Every structure is written in structure tokens, then in C-alpha cells.
Structure 1
Amino acid sequence: MGYCPQCGASVHDTESFCVSCGDKLPNDRHLRFEKQRFSLIAWRMPIIFLVIIGLFFGLITFTYSRLHEQAIALYHEATVALSNEAYEESLYLAEQALDISPSFEAASDLATLMSLYLHDIDVDSNAPYHEQLKQLNDLQIKLDDFKGDPVDQLIIHIRSLQEHFQLKQINKQLENDLSIQDLQALVWEIEAIQSTDALLLKQQLREQLSASIASLANTYLADNQFSEAAELVENGRYYLPEDERLLSLKQTIALAQEQFVKALEERMQKAYQSYEEEVVFNQSKAVSVTDLRLSQTPSNQLKVEGQVKNQGTVPIYHIQVTFELRDANQKVLDTREVFVYPEVLYPYDTGQLDYIYMHQPFDSAAIDINILAVSWLLNEEEAT
């Protein structure tokens, strides 16, 4: 069923002319009323366009993936070179990886790190020791801004260089005549160095310090300066706690001090005993009277004379001698007390005993003198 294009009347599919107006009907009227179907030809261009776009993005993705893999491989080679201490090669490989993949952050960090390291690691071997260490310390501070295994490896290398310069400086100092304090400082410094190169030098320093302390301690011992020797050894054991020489020397000092104190106590005891004996002697036996005799003066007066000697250890004051005269029958004729002159007799000095009888009733009868007593004072205050 269709319609006449001229008058609009209904026509059948089998009719060639319109029954209403008589016009000839179009031959393609059947096609004009068919429903439109999907046509591959109509969609061909959009599909081709989409395929091309997909291939383009796929190629880009593949290319980027390949480049990123190459960058990762170069970065891995750079880290291997870093581990082998080929620092310039590591920088070159990191920069190559960065050229291939500019957004590769790890490669960028490694390149920056290696560039900074190579710029500051070149230490002048002729520079003063403290400047060398300062340069390495400053570089280590700069590297603290970075994180990861590469920077840890570089810091290990920096510490290795620091230890190298420290050992070099210690060897140089050992060429001089070092004091015990200098050796202690070097032993303390080298203990922090854990490299194998430091082992022999550690042993050398310990031995030199131990020998120096032992020598000085023995000098103190010879002068009986036990406190100084003990303090020196104890201070040395702070730096050399395992040293057998110092441990043995500590025991020797303690034993020597004990023996010295014991001997000193014995000497003091003997000295005290001697002092007591001396005091007793000075009090009771210090004065001796010798050459005691009777004589006559030119005026025929009876004279008693003799010598008095101080055999003590202190000055003696106001010596008084009491004597008696006897006749041939030992009858006491007279008793007198006489002071010796000079008034003071110092140790081993000799004084004079003189007494003249102004009257002579005993001239013919007196034939003997007997000392009854001798008294004296031991200090001047008692004398006054």
C-alpha cells in the first residue's frame, strides 16, 4: 500500500497508474517506503578513525613503557656503579636515565645527589687536618637532606675518608715525643675507628700508653709517692681497662704502700720509744761530773773543783751539785750545794764546778769528796 505522489490517493503495490488522477506512478516507489537498515559502509570512516586513534595511543603507551624500562635499567646500573664506588659513572648513568625519562624522580634525586657529592668530595691532601675534616663534615650535613640507600652508601664512604685522615694524623703525631695525656687522647680517638687499618695502630698506641704510665708510676714508687702512682694507674685503666701490666702495677702499688705504712709505723714506734728513752735520759742521766778534786788556793784556802758535762740532747739550765767532804774515817765534815757555770749547758758542752771555802777549818782533815746529788732543769721557763 502506498500513495499517489500527484493527488495523494491510495494505490496498491501492483498498480502502475493512479486510478484517481491517472498519472503514472513512480517505478521506485517500493524502495521509498522500505525501512532503513544498518550499513557498514556508513560507519566505516568513524571506525577507521577510532582504530587509528587507538593505535596511536597504544604506540605512545608502548613507547613510554619501553623508555621507562630503559630509564629504570640505567638507574639500576647507576646504583650498581655507586656501590662499586664508580661515582662519576653513576652520575653519568643517572643523567642518561633522566634524559630518557625526565619525570623519573629517583633518577633525578640520584643525579642531584651525585653531582653534589662529586663537587664537594675532592679534599685537598695538603690542607690542614682540621680543614679536611670540616669539609667532610659539611658535606655529610648537606647529604642529610637526602634519604635512601644511595645516600647511606655515600655517608659510609665519607666516614671511611674521615677515618683515613684521622689515622694519617695519628701516625704523624706518633713521630713526636708525646705525653701521657696526649697518648690517652689518641687512644680515646682511635677507639671510635672500626676499620681494619686501625687495628695495628690501636695496639701500638695502647702499648705505648701502658709503658709510659708504668714508667712514671715506678718513678713515683721509688719516691714513695703512692697516691700519685695509684691515681696515675687508675686513670690509665680508664683508657686501658684490659691491660694486664696496669692491673699488675695496681696490685704492686697497693702492696708497696702497705709495706711502707707498716715500716713507717714500726719506725714511728721505735722513734717514740727512743724519744721516751731520750726524755728519761735527759731527765736523769744527762749530767756527768768528772775531774772532781780538792786543792788549795794560793791563799791556802780549800777549793773544790770539777767539770760538769751535758751528755743529753737538749739544753740544760741551772745545774746544781750537792757534795760532802769527808775525812780519813769517812766522817762527813761538811755538805754544800753549788751551781755550775755557765748557767746553760747545750748538748755536749762542759761547765765548771768551783767552790772555795773562805775559812780553813777542814784543810788538814778533808781528804775526800762525795757527790750526793746533781739536779737540773730541762727548759728555761722552769728555770725562771
Structure 2
Amino acid sequence: MPKDIDERAQGQGINRWWLTPIVTLVCMLIAAIGLHFYLEYNNSTAQSLYDEGVEHALEGQYSRAQSLFEESLEHNPNYEAAEINYDFMSVALEVNEKLNNVDTLVDQGAFQQAVQITEEAESQLSSYNGEIINFLLDSILDKRNEVRMNQVEQRLADDPGAEELKILLWQVQSLEHEDAESLEEMLRERIVSHTATEANEKLQTNQFTAAISIIEDGLRYAPDNERLISLKSTIENQQSDFETQQQERIAQALNQYELEQEQNENNAIDVVEVEVNVNDYDEMQVTGELLSVATRPIHSISVTYKLLDEDEEEILENETYAFPDTLYPDETGQIDHTHSDIPEDIDLDEITISIEQISWYLDGQE
């Protein structure tokens, strides 16, 4: 036998004593590695389910998203984001239900109530933040804009006036909606049509300033509209022509007035006839007819005349008044005066008359 057999036996005993902790360590290491991979798998699966849930939430599929967040928590109960989103999906589903009710209210024409619901839904999300919240808020805003678009279209169907159309245009301009631009253009066309109609009505009665003011107000809402620009130019041209003609008419009227005034003051009476005859009492009777060619009433018409003998020597001069006292344009008046104081040596049959002066007052004068 070998001499060192005891030493070998003693050495082999020492190796077996160290084997147990080594095996234990290896097992623990394997278990740790296995646990690590298990946890990594769960975390990875939880993250994947969470990401998928977020995608569905951002597509508005809140019920499906909530289920995915729940599955994510089953793989990782400590996943705080998944837990928060899981709880929030209940709020999202409630808000989404409200938005679905909005469509029913719009169909019923209850626009104000529909807008109020969107505002309540928005208020319900005020304490939250995040990507899903932003998506939901955008959905609420889109729904509110849709309600207001429907409200404007409903009011348009009632053929509103120009002022209400301007208010509706202002409302549509504040909306972010795919149909807002076309609706805005329709409103502008309606405003242009109303503006042109109102301006033309003013133009028909020569209210040029009012017509231009209406056009300028309309151009604030459709600044490049050729119809309004052209109509404004037409109104300005007609105003210029009218004012020129008016000045000419005024000048003509003033000239006519001056002519008439001269006529009324200096040539208002035409003598139709005047006679001097001997009456049955051997008196000289002066009679005559006067015609008013004035353009306004005249009164207190006096006629100054002379009686002349056969040698055209003055016998006497006298003033008499026509009757009636007032003559209107184209009316006639009479004079009639009897002279009984003619000298006896005058041949009455040879007496003639000479009108020296006719005077009068215009109506309103004394």
C-alpha cells in the first residue's frame, strides 16, 4: 500500500466538506438568475400591455385599454402608471358616454345643453394631465366645435339678417373644424348679398352716404369681394353725378328765382284793357281789367292815371285800387272809378286816359 494513503484519505474528506456550500451557492445563483428572468419577463410583458393600452386609449377605445392596463397590473402589481391609467379609464368611459349623449342633444336641437355637457366633461378632467388626457380634451373640443357648427348651420337655415350673420361669422372663425372654412365662406357670401341689397335700397332714394357706409361695413367682412368693391364705385360715381346735377338745378333754380323775383317786383301786372267813358249822369267813368302775371300772390294793387283833353293836356291825376284786393297768379282784377269834377269847358267825349304807374305788394309784404 502507498505510504501516503492516510494523507490522501484526509485530503478527500476536506474536499467533501466544501462541496455543500458550493452546491448551495450555485443553486441560489441559478434561482436568482431564474427569478431575474421571470421578473424581467413580467416587467416586459406589463410594459408591452401598458403600451398597447395607451395606444387603444389614444384611439378612444377606453374599455379595451382598461382591460390591457388590468392585465399589465397582473404581471406587475407595482406598475404605478398602469394603475393610474386603469383608474382613469373609468373617468374616460364616463366622459365618452357624455360625449355620445351630445350627439342626441344636437339631433334634438338642444345646442346650449350640448355645449354645457362638453364643458362639464372638460371640467371633470381638470385635475388630470398626460397624453391620454390631452387626447380626450382634444376630443371634447372637437365635439364642442361640432356642436357649434351644427348650431350655426341651423341658424343659417332660418335666413338670419345681416347683423346676425356677422355674429355667426365671428363664431365660426373661432372654431377649429374641417368644415369651418367652407361655412365661413358661405357666411361671407350671405353678408355680401345682404349688404348689396341694403346699399341698393339706399341708392334708389339717393342716400349715397348711407349706401357707402353699408358697403364699407360689408367690406370689413369680405375685404376683397369684387361685387362690393364694384358697387361702391358705382355709388360714388352716381353720387358725383347727382351732386353735379343738383348744383346745376340749384343754379337754375336761383336764376329762375331771380327772374321770377324781378317779374314779381317790376312786371307783375298786365293791363288787359282800360277805358274812360261818359256815364248816364255826364260823369267820367274809368274802368279797366288787370291780369296778374306774378308767380306769387300780390295785393293792394294801385293804379295811377291821368285824364287828358283833346290836346293831351292833363286834366287831372288820380290813384285808384283794384279789386279784389289780392290777386293770385293768372287771376284778373278790376278798376272802376267815377269822376264828377271835370271842368264844364272840357269836351267829355274827347277825354283819354294815360296809365302812369301801377304798384302792388307781394304776399307777405306790407
TM-score interval for Structure 1 and Structure 2 normalised by the shorter chain: 0.7 to 0.9
Q: Partner residue of 1:263? A: 245
Deviation at 1:161, TM superposition (A): 1.8
For residues 305 and 246 of structure 1, do their structure 2 counterparts lie closer, same or farther at Cα, with a shift above 3 Å needed? same
Identify the residue that residue 370 of structure 1 maps to in structure 2.
354
8 Å Cα contact 2:146-2:177 kept in structure 1: no
CA offset at residue 50 of structure 1? 6.1
Greater displacement, 39-48 / 332-341: 39-48
Q: 2:85 aligns to what?
A: 110
Counterpart in the other structure of 1:70:
45
Cα gap change, 1:197/1:326 in structure 2, threshold over 3 Å: closer, same or farther?
A: same
Using the TM superposition, give the Cα deviation of residue 306 of structure 1 relative to its aligned residue in structure 2, in angstroms.
Answer: 1.2
Equivalence for 2:151: 169
RMSD, matched Cα:
2.9
Distance 1:86 1:355 in 2: 120
Identity of aligned pairs, percent? 28
Deviation at 1:317, TM superposition (A): 3.1
Q: Which has the larger radius of gyration?
A: 1
Map 1:1-384 → 2, pairs under 5 A: 59-121=34-96, 122-127=100-105, 128-361=110-343, 362=346, 364-380=348-364, 382-383=365-366
Structure 1 regions of 5+ residues with no counterpart?
Answer: 1-38
Alignment-mate amino acid for residue 193 of structure 1: L
- AA aligned opposite 1:123: N
SS state at 1:294 partner: strand
**CA 1:72–1:317 in structure 2 vs 1: closer, same or farther (change >3 Å)?**
same
Q: What is the one-letter code of the residue matched to 2:63?
A: E
TM-score (norm 1): 0.79
* Native 8 Å contact 1:117 1:139 kept in 2: no
Q: Matched residues in 2 for 1:188 and 1:97: separation? A: 48
- Could you say what secondary structure the match of 1:123 adopts? helix
Structure 1 pair 363/161, CA: closer, same or farther in 2 (3 Å)? Answer: farther
Query: If the length of structure 2 is used for normalisation, what is the TM-score?
Result: 0.83
Pair 95,244 (structure 1): closer, same or farther in 2 beyond 3 Å: farther
The answer to which of 252-261 and 360-369 deviates more is: 360-369
Per-residue CA shift, 1:101-124, capped at 9, x if unaligned?
A: 343333334334433232123224
Letter paired with 2:146: H
CA distance in 2, matches of 1:228, 1:174: 27
Say which is worse superposed, 312-321 or 44-53, in terms of deviation: 44-53
CA–CA separation in structure 2 for the residues paired with 1:281 and 1:177:
61
**Does the CA-based 8 Å contact 2:284-2:348 persist in structure 1?**
no
Task: Tell me the SS of whatever aligns to 2:336.
Answer: strand
Structure 1 residues 260 and 368, CA, compared in 2 at 3 Å: closer, same or farther?
A: same
Judge conservation of contact 2:142–2:176 (CA < 8 Å) in 1: no
Deviation at 1:298, TM superposition (A): 3.1
The ranges of structure 1 where at least 4 consecutive aligned residues each deviate by more than 4 angstroms after the TM superposition are 39-61
1:179-221 Cα shifts (integer Å, max 9, x gaps)? 1122222222222334333343333332222122212211111
> C-alpha separation between the residues in 1 aligned to 2:315 and 2:236?
72
Residues 337 and 71 of structure 1: is their aligned pair in 2 closer, same or farther, counting only changes over 3 Å? same
Separation in structure 1 between the aligned mates of residue 165 and residue 44 of structure 2, nearest angstrom: 57
Residue correspondences, number: 346
The Cα of 1:278 is off from its aligned counterpart by 1.8
